[in-house]
A and B are shown apart, each in its own frame.
Chain A
Amino acid sequence: MKIAVQDSPFDFGAEAEAFSAGASGAGAVVTFAGLVRDADEGSLAAMEIEHYPGMTERALTRIAEEAMARWSLADALVIHRYGRLETGEQIMMVATAARHRKDAFEAAEYLMDYLKSRAPFWKKEILKGGGSDWVAAKDADEDALTRW
Protein backbone atom coordinates (compact mmCIF):
# COMPACT_ATOMS: atom_id res chain seq x y z
CA MET A 1 0.00 0.00 0.00
CA LYS A 2 1.35 3.42 -0.88
CA ILE A 3 0.09 6.70 0.55
CA ALA A 4 1.86 9.90 -0.50
CA VAL A 5 1.00 13.51 0.32
CA GLN A 6 3.33 15.85 -1.53
CA ASP A 7 3.64 19.27 -3.12
CA SER A 8 5.72 18.04 -6.05
CA PRO A 9 4.21 16.61 -9.25
CA PHE A 10 4.06 12.85 -9.73
CA ASP A 11 4.59 10.75 -12.86
CA PHE A 12 1.23 9.10 -13.42
CA GLY A 13 2.56 6.62 -15.99
CA ALA A 14 5.54 5.55 -13.91
CA GLU A 15 3.40 5.23 -10.78
CA ALA A 16 0.82 3.13 -12.63
CA GLU A 17 3.55 0.88 -14.12
CA ALA A 18 5.26 0.32 -10.79
CA PHE A 19 1.96 -0.30 -9.06
CA SER A 20 0.86 -2.82 -11.66
CA ALA A 21 4.23 -4.60 -11.64
CA GLY A 22 4.11 -4.94 -7.86
CA ALA A 23 0.53 -6.21 -7.63
CA SER A 24 1.24 -9.92 -7.62
CA GLY A 25 -1.74 -12.19 -8.08
CA ALA A 26 -3.96 -9.39 -9.39
CA GLY A 27 -5.93 -9.73 -12.61
CA ALA A 28 -7.17 -6.15 -12.68
CA VAL A 29 -5.64 -2.74 -12.06
CA VAL A 30 -7.75 0.42 -12.05
CA THR A 31 -6.15 3.87 -12.01
CA PHE A 32 -7.74 7.29 -11.72
CA ALA A 33 -6.18 10.75 -11.92
CA GLY A 34 -7.84 14.01 -10.87
CA LEU A 35 -6.79 17.22 -12.63
CA VAL A 36 -7.26 20.91 -11.94
CA ARG A 37 -10.28 21.74 -14.12
CA ASP A 38 -10.72 25.24 -15.49
CA ALA A 39 -14.01 27.01 -14.85
CA ASP A 40 -16.52 26.94 -17.76
CA GLU A 41 -15.73 30.57 -18.50
CA GLY A 42 -11.97 29.91 -18.40
CA SER A 43 -11.52 32.16 -15.38
CA LEU A 44 -9.40 29.88 -13.20
CA ALA A 45 -5.71 30.75 -12.85
CA ALA A 46 -4.75 28.09 -10.33
CA MET A 47 -5.89 26.00 -7.41
CA GLU A 48 -4.38 26.21 -3.95
CA ILE A 49 -4.73 23.11 -1.84
CA GLU A 50 -4.28 23.26 1.90
CA HIS A 51 -4.11 20.16 4.10
CA TYR A 52 -3.67 19.09 7.70
CA PRO A 53 -0.21 17.48 7.94
CA GLY A 54 -0.40 14.36 10.05
CA MET A 55 -4.14 13.93 9.94
CA THR A 56 -4.07 13.75 6.13
CA GLU A 57 -1.72 10.77 6.05
CA ARG A 58 -3.66 9.15 8.88
CA ALA A 59 -7.03 9.60 7.16
CA LEU A 60 -5.78 8.39 3.77
CA THR A 61 -4.15 5.33 5.33
CA ARG A 62 -7.34 4.45 7.15
CA ILE A 63 -9.46 4.86 4.01
CA ALA A 64 -7.07 2.74 1.94
CA GLU A 65 -6.87 0.04 4.62
CA GLU A 66 -10.66 -0.12 4.70
CA ALA A 67 -10.75 -0.54 0.91
CA MET A 68 -8.01 -3.20 1.02
CA ALA A 69 -10.00 -5.24 3.53
CA ARG A 70 -13.42 -4.77 2.02
CA TRP A 71 -12.48 -5.77 -1.54
CA SER A 72 -9.58 -8.11 -0.70
CA LEU A 73 -7.30 -5.94 -2.80
CA ALA A 74 -3.82 -7.05 -3.77
CA ASP A 75 -2.69 -3.43 -3.37
CA ALA A 76 -3.87 0.17 -3.21
CA LEU A 77 -2.23 3.53 -3.89
CA VAL A 78 -3.19 7.11 -3.11
CA ILE A 79 -1.11 10.14 -4.08
CA HIS A 80 -2.50 13.59 -3.30
CA ARG A 81 -0.76 16.92 -3.85
CA TYR A 82 -1.06 20.18 -1.99
CA GLY A 83 0.12 23.72 -2.63
CA ARG A 84 -0.43 25.79 -5.76
CA LEU A 85 -1.42 23.84 -8.88
CA GLU A 86 -2.02 25.30 -12.32
CA THR A 87 -4.98 24.45 -14.54
CA GLY A 88 -4.55 21.00 -16.11
CA GLU A 89 -2.07 19.78 -13.51
CA GLN A 90 -2.61 16.46 -11.80
CA ILE A 91 -3.93 16.86 -8.26
CA MET A 92 -4.15 13.26 -7.21
CA MET A 93 -4.32 9.65 -8.30
CA VAL A 94 -5.61 6.41 -6.90
CA ALA A 95 -4.87 2.88 -8.04
CA THR A 96 -6.35 -0.42 -6.96
CA ALA A 97 -5.37 -3.98 -7.81
CA ALA A 98 -7.67 -6.95 -7.37
CA ARG A 99 -8.20 -10.41 -8.77
CA HIS A 100 -11.22 -9.20 -10.74
CA ARG A 101 -12.11 -5.85 -12.29
CA LYS A 102 -15.39 -5.30 -10.41
CA ASP A 103 -13.57 -5.18 -7.09
CA ALA A 104 -10.85 -2.94 -8.50
CA PHE A 105 -13.38 -0.46 -9.95
CA GLU A 106 -15.56 -0.41 -6.84
CA ALA A 107 -12.62 0.03 -4.51
CA ALA A 108 -11.29 2.91 -6.63
CA GLU A 109 -14.68 4.64 -6.47
CA TYR A 110 -14.79 4.07 -2.74
CA LEU A 111 -11.34 5.63 -2.33
CA MET A 112 -12.40 8.64 -4.40
CA ASP A 113 -15.69 9.12 -2.56
CA TYR A 114 -14.02 8.99 0.84
CA LEU A 115 -11.04 11.13 0.07
CA LYS A 116 -13.30 13.83 -1.33
CA SER A 117 -15.06 14.40 1.98
CA ARG A 118 -13.08 12.56 4.68
CA ALA A 119 -9.50 13.52 3.97
CA PRO A 120 -8.51 16.96 5.32
CA PHE A 121 -7.84 18.89 2.12
CA TRP A 122 -9.33 22.26 1.22
CA LYS A 123 -9.28 23.74 -2.26
CA LYS A 124 -9.14 27.43 -3.04
CA GLU A 125 -9.72 28.71 -6.56
CA ILE A 126 -7.39 31.51 -7.63
CA LEU A 127 -9.07 33.58 -10.33
CA LYS A 128 -7.36 35.18 -13.31
CA GLY A 129 -8.85 38.58 -12.61
CA GLY A 130 -7.52 38.47 -9.05
CA GLY A 131 -9.49 37.30 -6.08
CA SER A 132 -10.07 33.81 -4.81
CA ASP A 133 -12.81 31.52 -3.49
CA TRP A 134 -12.75 28.53 -1.20
CA VAL A 135 -14.44 25.61 -2.94
CA ALA A 136 -17.59 24.66 -1.03
CA ALA A 137 -18.20 21.01 -0.23
CA LYS A 138 -21.04 19.56 -2.28
CA ASP A 139 -23.98 17.75 -0.70
CA ALA A 140 -23.67 15.21 -3.51
CA ASP A 141 -20.17 14.30 -2.31
CA GLU A 142 -21.43 13.71 1.22
CA ASP A 143 -24.44 11.76 -0.11
CA ALA A 144 -22.09 9.57 -2.17
CA LEU A 145 -20.78 8.03 1.04
CA THR A 146 -24.16 6.55 1.92
CA ARG A 147 -23.94 4.02 -0.90
CA TRP A 148 -21.02 2.32 0.87
Chain B
Amino acid sequence: MDILYFAWVRERIGLPRERVETKAATVAELVEELKAREDRYAAAFADLSALRVALDQDLSDFDAPLDGVREVAFFPPMTGG
Protein backbone atom coordinates (compact mmCIF):
# COMPACT_ATOMS: atom_id res chain seq x y z
CA MET B 1 0.00 0.00 0.00
CA ASP B 2 1.01 3.63 -0.42
CA ILE B 3 1.78 5.63 2.69
CA LEU B 4 1.73 9.41 2.51
CA TYR B 5 3.11 11.92 5.02
CA PHE B 6 2.27 15.60 5.27
CA ALA B 7 3.56 18.71 7.04
CA TRP B 8 5.93 18.03 9.97
CA VAL B 9 5.31 14.29 9.74
CA ARG B 10 6.75 14.41 6.21
CA GLU B 11 9.69 16.51 7.40
CA ARG B 12 10.44 14.27 10.37
CA ILE B 13 10.33 11.06 8.33
CA GLY B 14 12.10 12.71 5.43
CA LEU B 15 9.90 11.66 2.54
CA PRO B 16 6.43 12.48 1.21
CA ARG B 17 5.33 8.96 0.29
CA GLU B 18 6.50 5.40 0.10
CA ARG B 19 5.16 2.00 -0.80
CA VAL B 20 5.18 -0.66 1.91
CA GLU B 21 4.28 -4.31 1.98
CA THR B 22 2.51 -5.05 5.23
CA LYS B 23 0.28 -7.59 6.86
CA ALA B 24 -0.83 -5.13 9.52
CA ALA B 25 -4.54 -5.57 10.22
CA THR B 26 -5.12 -2.10 11.62
CA VAL B 27 -3.63 1.37 11.39
CA ALA B 28 -2.22 0.96 14.91
CA GLU B 29 -0.39 -2.22 13.85
CA LEU B 30 1.01 -0.45 10.79
CA VAL B 31 2.25 2.37 13.03
CA GLU B 32 4.02 -0.16 15.27
CA GLU B 33 5.72 -1.71 12.22
CA LEU B 34 6.88 1.70 11.02
CA LYS B 35 8.12 2.74 14.47
CA ALA B 36 10.24 -0.40 14.69
CA ARG B 37 12.02 0.49 11.46
CA GLU B 38 14.09 3.53 12.39
CA ASP B 39 14.36 6.33 14.93
CA ARG B 40 12.88 8.93 12.57
CA TYR B 41 9.65 6.90 12.36
CA ALA B 42 9.61 6.36 16.11
CA ALA B 43 10.02 10.12 16.57
CA ALA B 44 7.24 10.98 14.10
CA PHE B 45 4.80 8.51 15.66
CA ALA B 46 5.78 9.11 19.30
CA ASP B 47 2.51 10.86 20.19
CA LEU B 48 -0.48 9.54 18.25
CA SER B 49 -2.77 12.12 19.83
CA ALA B 50 -0.88 14.72 17.74
CA LEU B 51 -1.59 12.82 14.53
CA ARG B 52 -4.51 12.19 12.23
CA VAL B 53 -4.91 9.40 9.71
CA ALA B 54 -6.83 9.13 6.44
CA LEU B 55 -7.62 5.87 4.68
CA ASP B 56 -8.16 6.19 0.94
CA GLN B 57 -8.58 9.94 1.44
CA ASP B 58 -11.22 9.75 4.17
CA LEU B 59 -10.46 10.71 7.76
CA SER B 60 -10.31 7.62 9.94
CA ASP B 61 -8.80 6.50 13.24
CA PHE B 62 -5.97 4.34 14.52
CA ASP B 63 -8.21 1.39 15.38
CA ALA B 64 -9.55 1.15 11.82
CA PRO B 65 -8.91 -2.03 9.81
CA LEU B 66 -6.66 -1.83 6.75
CA ASP B 67 -8.52 -4.49 4.81
CA GLY B 68 -8.72 -3.36 1.16
CA VAL B 69 -7.11 0.01 1.87
CA ARG B 70 -4.74 1.26 -0.85
CA GLU B 71 -3.63 4.60 0.52
CA VAL B 72 -2.86 5.58 4.12
CA ALA B 73 -1.94 9.16 5.01
CA PHE B 74 -0.52 10.46 8.29
CA PHE B 75 -0.55 14.14 9.17
CA PRO B 76 -0.96 16.64 12.01
CA PRO B 77 -4.34 18.24 12.78
CA MET B 78 -5.38 20.34 9.79
CA THR B 79 -5.06 24.11 9.67
CA GLY B 80 -7.07 25.29 6.69
CA GLY B 81 -9.00 28.49 6.22
Contacts and interface: CB of A to CB of B under 8 A. Distances in A.
Interface residues of B, number: 16
B57 A54 contact: yes
Interface of B: 4, 6-8, 54, 57-59, 73, 75-81
Closest 8 pairs between A and B when the two form their complex, measured CB to CB: A137-B77, A121-B80, A122-B7, A55-B57, A116-B81, A119-B80, A115-B80, A123-B79
Interface residues of A, number: 25
A137 B81 contact: no
A134 B8 contact: yes
Majority DSSP secondary structure for residues of A touching B: mixed
A137 B80 CA distance: 9
Given A50-B6, A52-B4, A124-B7, A116 B57 contact: no
Interface string A114-148: 01111111111000000000111100001000000
A120 B79 CA distance: 8
A122 B81 contact: no
Given A58-B57, A112-B81, A137 B76 contact: yes
A50 B73 CA distance: 14
A146 to B, nearest CB: 16
